[in-house]
Structure 1
Amino acid sequence: MTRRAQMNLPALAVALLVLTTAATMSLGMADRAFLGAERDADSRRVAVALSERLVDQSGPVAVRPNVLNATELDRLDGPRLRSLFPVVADHDVRVTVGDDAVAERGDPEGVTVRRVVLVERRRAVTLTPRLAATSPAFTLPRRTRTVDLAVRPPEGTTVTEVRADGRVVLRNASGLTGDFSVRVSRFETVRFAFDADGPLPTGSVTVTYYPAETHKTVLAVTVDA
Structure 2
Amino acid sequence: MTTERGQANLIGLAAALVLLATVTTGSVALASIALADADTDSETRHAAETLADRLVAADADHTRRANAVSENAIRALNTTAVDRLAPSVRNRSIRIRLGDEVLVERGDPEKTTVRRLVRVEQYERRTTTVDLVTQRSVSLPDRTETVELDISTDGTTTLTTVRANDRIVLRDRSGLSGTYEFKVARVNPPQLEFTTEDGVDGTVTVTWTETTATVEPLEVTVGA
Q: TM-score range by the shorter chain?
A: 0.7 to 0.9
Q: Sort the Cα spacing of 1:87 and 1:72 in 2 relative to 1 into closer, same or farther, 3 A.
A: farther
CA–CA distance in structure 1, aligned partners of residues 208 and 173 of structure 2: 26
Equivalents in 2 of 1:25, 1:127: separation in Å?
78
Q: Which residue does 2:89 correspond to in 1?
A: 88
Displacement, 1:178?
Answer: 1.1
Kindly indicate whether the alpha-carbon contact (under 8 Å) linking 2:142 and 2:186 is maintained by their aligned counterparts in 1: no
Instruction: Work out the CA distance in 1 between the residues paired with 2:201 and 2:166.
Output: 19
Distance, in Å, in 2 between the alignment partners of 1:40 and 1:76 is 26
Query: Which residue identity lines up with residue 163 of structure 2 in the other structure?
Result: R
Aligned counterpart, 2:141: 141
Q: What amino acid maps onto 1:101 in structure 2?
A: V
> C-alpha separation between the residues in 2 aligned to 1:200 and 1:182?
24
Q: Counterpart in 2 of 1:216? A: 215
1:130 and 1:74 map into 2 onto residues whose CA distance is 39
The CA RMSD measured in Å over matched residues stands at: 2.8
CA distance in 2, matches of 1:117, 1:141: 22
TM-score by length of 2: 0.80
Match for residue 128 of structure 1? 129
**Amino acid in structure 1 at the alignment position of 2:68:** V
* Cα deviation, residue 219, structure 1: 0.6
Q: Secondary structure, in 3 states, of the residue corresponding to 1:176?
A: coil
Match of 1:118 in 2: 119
Name the structure with the higher strand share: 2
Measure how far apart 1:130 and its partner are: 4.4
Q: Which residue of 2 aligns with 1:8?
A: none
Deviations 1:79-110 (A, max 9, x none): 01112333333322221111112223343222
Q: Deviations over 1:191-216 (max 9, x none)?
A: 11112232245xx1111111211111
Q: Given that residues 131 and 138 in structure 1 are in contact (C-alpha distance below 8 angstroms), is that contact kept between their aligned partners in structure 2? A: no
What residue is the counterpart of 2:36 in the other structure? 35
**Residue range with higher mean Cα deviation, 21-30 or 159-168:** 21-30
- The 3-state SS of whatever aligns with 2:160 is strand
Which ranges of structure 2 fall in alignment gaps of 5 or more residues? Answer: 5-14
TM-score, normalised via structure 1 length: 0.79
Query: C-alpha separation between the residues in 2 aligned to 1:142 and 1:68?
Result: 18
What is the Cα deviation at residue 59 of structure 1?
Answer: 3.1
Distance 2:109 2:199 in 1: 67
Would you say the 8 A contact 1:137–1:191 is kept in 2? yes
SS in 1 for 2:149: strand
Query: Is the contact made by 1:57 and 1:66 (CA closer than 8 Å) also made in structure 2?
Result: yes
Q: Is the 8 A contact 1:60 1:84 kept in 2?
A: no
Aligned pair in 2 of structure 1 residues 19, 200: CA closer, same or farther (>3 Å)? farther
